[in-house]
Amino acid sequence: MKELNLNDIKNIKNINDIIILVKKLIFSRFGKVFVAGGFGAVSQLLSYGVVFKIIIVNLNVFNLPESILISNRFPLYPKFFLAQLFAIEVGIFVTFFINNSWAFSDKKLKGMLFLRRFLKNHLVVVGAIVIQLVIGQILASIFGVGVIRDYVYQIVGILVGLFWNFYFYQRIIWKTK
C-alpha cells in the first residue's frame, strides 16, 4: 500500500475512498508510531491504575506528603508525580518494543544495537517525559488530583509528547545513514 499523500484527501469521492485513506494512514509510518504509542499509552494508564497508584499513592510506600507547596498558588503532588513517572517508563518500554517490531521493522534493531538504541531512546523521550510530568503537575495544581483527573492529565501529556517523540524517533533512533 502506498504512503498517504495530500492528493488522497483531495480525491475522496465515496466511503471506499475514506476506508482506503484510513488504511493508508494507519499503515503509514506515522500511523504505526501512533498505534504503537497508543499501546504504550494504554500500558502506561493501566500500570498507573493497577500498580503504581495503589503502591505509591494509596499505600504511600515511600511515605510522601500529599502535596508540597512551592508557592501559595502552586502545589506539587509528589505521590502522583512518582506514580506517573513509573507508569511512563512502562509505556516507554512497550512503545519502543512495538515501534522496533512494527513501525520501524525495516530498520529493526537487534542485540546490543537494540540495547544501545533503547538507552538512546530514553535520552530522546526525556523531553516527552518532562512534558507529561509538567503537564500533570500544572493541571493538578489548577484542578487538583483525583482518579479521573489524573488520567485526563496523563492523556493530555501523552498526546503532546507524541509529536516530540515522532520527530526525534525519525531523526535519531531509527534514522538511516
pLDDT tens-digit series, residues 147-161 = 899 999 999 999 898
Element (H, E) at 10: helix 6-10
Rounded to whole angstroms, the Cα distance separating 121 from 127 reads 11
pLDDT band at 25 (very low <50, low <70, confident <90, very high): confident
Environment class of 1 (CB within 10 Å of its CB; exposed 0-12, middle 13-18, buried 19+): exposed
The answer to whether position 87 is within a domain reads yes
Question: Is a pLDDT exceeding 70 seen at residue 2?
Answer: no
- Residue 111 identity (one-letter amino acid): G
The answer to whether position 95 is within a domain reads yes
The answer to whether position 140 is within a domain reads yes
pLDDT band at 85 (very low <50, low <70, confident <90, very high): very high
The answer to whether position 12 is within a domain reads no
Share of the chain above pLDDT 70, in %: 94
The answer to whether position 67 is within a domain reads yes
- Residue 123 identity (one-letter amino acid): L
* Helix, strand, coil percentages, rounded to 5, for the chain: 75, 5, 20
Q: What pLDDT sits at residue 14?
A: 86
**Which range of residues forms the domain containing residue 129?**
32-173
The answer to whether position 6 is within a domain reads no
Higher pLDDT, 10 or 142: 142
* Number of domains making up the chain: 1
Q: What pLDDT sits at residue 20?
A: 83
C-alpha cell at 89: 517508563
Give how far Cα 63 sits from Cα of 52, 55, 73, 173, Å: 14, 11, 24, 37
Q: Are 41 and 158 in contact (CB under 8 A)?
A: yes
The answer to whether position 21 is within a domain reads no
SS3 label, residue 11: coil
pLDDT tens-digit series, residues 86-123 = 999 999 999 999 999 998 888 888 999 999 989 988 88
Question: Is a pLDDT exceeding 70 seen at residue 136?
Answer: yes
Helices (H), ranges, 48-110: 78-98
The answer to whether position 47 is within a domain reads yes
Q: Are 65 and 25 in contact (CB under 8 A)?
A: no
Q: Are 36 and 103 in contact (CB under 8 A)?
A: yes
pLDDT band at 1 (very low <50, low <70, confident <90, very high): low
